[in-house]
Structure formats: structure tokens, C-alpha cells
């Protein structure tokens, strides 16, 4: 039995949910998100709460039960508050700038790397070279942040590159430490 799936989702004021069979639309102050859920899970909207009922008891259905509840909960949180990920650009001469929907990064390559930011996602860079990626779709925010990090992953000797703000890079000892 899924401990996550059996918990109902309380809907905050200002968030509206429409359930049409397996299609769910969540609308809030920041925008709206839509998703089709698995037919094995029934979604009920009653008393300003969303509850999820599995159709069966197999291991597969129970896994979908908790996953569906989490995905819909992320949609509710996203349209109310939004999500953001922060990345740090570290290294001598490494910097970035945002112009419109294009993120330009100078991270040690011979030419600057231009990254096209998707429509529903915002990207900003402050003075300390911290990139803030934000939006209402948690999955898309995480994917864009991972693609930005992949442009120049942090290397283990000096830690240069693009890393998440809370990520710890395990440093290796260079040649001098071997002797």
C-alpha cells in the first residue's frame, strides 16, 4: 500500500482543478498545467481536496498510485508558488549573460556557448555568476538546469565548471600530491 498515494492533496485558495476522466488541468496565479494520468488510478475532487484511488492491488498499480499523486502535487505547487534551481558558474574568466531567451556562457571554450531557454522557463544571472532557472513545471525546470550544467560539468581538480549551488564536488589531488 502506498503511503504517499493515500494522502489527499489539499487545494490552496486560488488553485482550480478540472478532472475529465484521465485528463487533469490545474490552474493557478502563475499559469496552468495539464497532464494525462494512468487509467489504473482514479482521481476524485471533493471538498477542495484531490484524492487518488487505485484500480487493483498489483505492485505496478501501487507504484503508479504514489507517482501520480506526487506528479499532481507538483503541478499544484508549481501553479501556486513555482519552482527554481540555482547553478553556479565557477572558474577564472567563466561568466554568462542573458539576453531575451538566450543564455550566453563563456566557460573555457574557444567560442561562447549560446543556450536557448524554453518559452515557459525564465533564466537570470546575478553578479556572483549564479544562474537561476525558474518556472511552474518542476520536470522542465530540472531538465533545463541539467542541460545547462552539461555545457561544462565541474571538473574534480580545481572545481571549474557549472554546478548546482548545493552540489559538493569531490576534489582530487593533482600531480604534486602523488610524490
Q: Is 9-80 a CATH 3.90.930.12 domain?
A: yes
CATH of 83-164, one of 3.40.50.2300, 3.40.190.10, 3.90.930.12, 3.30.360.10: 3.90.930.12
Percent of the chain at pLDDT > 90 equals 83
136 pLDDT higher than 60: yes
pLDDT digits (tens, 9 = 90+) for 22-65: 999 999 999 999 999 999 999 999 889 999 999 988 989 998 99
Domains 9-80 and 83-164 are alike in CATH topology: yes
Domain ranges of the chain: 9-80, 83-164
pLDDT digits (tens, 9 = 90+) for 164-178: 999 999 999 888 755
Residue 61, class by beta-carbon neighbours within 10 Å (0-12 exposed, 13-18 middle, 19+ buried)? middle
Residue the block writes with cell 502563475: 30
What are the cell numbers at 58?
A: 498489483
3-state class (DSSP) for residue 143: helix
User: Counting runs of H as helices and runs of E as strands, what totals does the chain give?
Assistant: 3, 13
Q: Model pTM greater than 0.85?
A: yes
Amino acid at each position: 500500500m502506498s503511503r504517499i498515494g493515500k494522502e489527499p492533496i489539499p487545494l490552496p485558495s486560488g488553485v482550480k482543478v478540472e478532472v475529465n476522466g484521465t485528463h487533469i488541468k490545474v490552474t493557478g496565479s502563475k499559469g496552468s498545467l495539464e497532464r494525462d494520468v494512468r487509467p489504473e488510478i482514479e482521481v476524485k475532487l471533493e471538498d477542495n481536496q484531490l484524492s487518488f484511488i487505485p484500480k487493483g492491488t498489483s505492485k505496478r498499480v501501487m507504484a503508479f498510485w504514489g507517482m501520480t499523486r506526487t506528479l499532481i502535487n507538483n503541478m499544484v505547487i508549481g501553479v501556486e508558488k513555482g519552482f527554481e534551481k540555482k547553478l553556479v558558474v565557477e572558474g577564472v574568466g567563466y561568466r554568462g549573460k542573458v539576453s531575451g531567451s538566450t543564455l550566453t556562457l563563456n566557460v573555457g571554450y574557444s567560442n561562447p556557448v549560446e543556450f536557448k531557454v524554453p518559452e515557459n522557463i525564465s533564466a537570470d544571472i546575478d553578479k556572483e555568476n549564479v544562474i537561476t532557472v525558474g518556472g511552474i513545471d518542476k520536470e522542465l525546470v530540472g531538465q533545463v538546469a541539467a542541460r545547462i550544467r552539461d555545457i561544462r560539468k565541474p571538473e574534480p581538480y580545481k572545481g571549474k565548471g557549472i554546478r548546482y549551488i548545493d552540489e559538493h564536488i569531490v576534489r582530487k589531488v593533482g600531480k604534486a600530491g602523488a610524490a
